[in-house]
Amino acid sequence: MFMFEFLFRKNKPVDPDPAVVPSHAPAVTQAAAPGTAIHYHPELIGKLKQDHQALLALFGSIQTAFMEGRLQTVVGHLDTFRTGIQSHLLIENVRLYIYLEHQLADDETSYQLIHDFRHEMDGIGKAVVGFLAKYKDLSVDTNLVASFGRDLEAVGKVLVDRIQREEATLYPLYSPAY
């Protein structure tokens, strides 16, 4: 059973279209957070959740391709995953974290939560980028195959945990500036 099967029981992981990567930030529609030019975007949380689902589906496709021994496909999916996660992290960092830190600067508890989430994500992002760099030559360097499955599973567990916590704890804090 796949590690992420519970996340998409209706939609079994399939090889996604490589052109499909997480979506971009929506247009400006509300007042900016205090001290910034960053505006509230009512569609942002929905878009970030869509990104999560796209990244998890792609991750499931990476697992499937690896289990089937299709290493060249794995490498292609890893490259698509890299593009998708970097785009998602950039949007999340600029549009979400900075906005929330300024919006909730007077709420010490919420501010600390946001700050902790942001710094934890910096570490996770670096680890994922390191993982992606390590395995970019997986299809030509057979020495990498032995550790890939184990490392893939570890990255997957961290990502699933992080996504669940973001959607349950962090995203509900996002609201318009008044």
| pLDDT tens-digit readout, 70-100 | 999 999 999 999 999 999 999 999 899 999 9
Q: How far is CA 47 from the centre of its chain?
A: 11
| The pLDDT of residue 33 | 64
Confidence (pLDDT) at 6:
37
Q: Are 121 and 92 in contact (CB under 8 A)?
A: yes
- Which positions ≥6 away from 163 have C-beta within 8 Å? 52, 56
Domain spans, the chain: 42-173
**What confidence score (pLDDT) does residue 39 get?**
83
pLDDT given for residue 37 in this prediction:
74
User: Is residue 95 within 8 Å of 102, Cβ to Cβ?
Assistant: no
Amino acid at residue number 174? Y
Check residue 18 and give its pLDDT.
Answer: 40
- What pLDDT does 142 receive? 87
- Looking at residue 25, the DSSP 8-state letter turns out to be P
Tell me the pTM.
Answer: 0.79
Amino acid letter, residue 100 = L
Per-residue pLDDT at 20: 41
In the prediction, which pLDDT does 38 show?
A: 83
Q: What is the residue whose two structure tokens read 């500036």?
A: 177
Nearest to 18 by CA among 83, 101, 64, 71: 83
- CATH topology classification for 42-173: Four Helix Bundle (Hemerythrin (Met), subunit A) (1.20.120)
The pLDDT value recorded for residue 140 is: 93
Give pLDDT, residue 15: 42
- pLDDT under 50 in the chain at which residues? 1-29
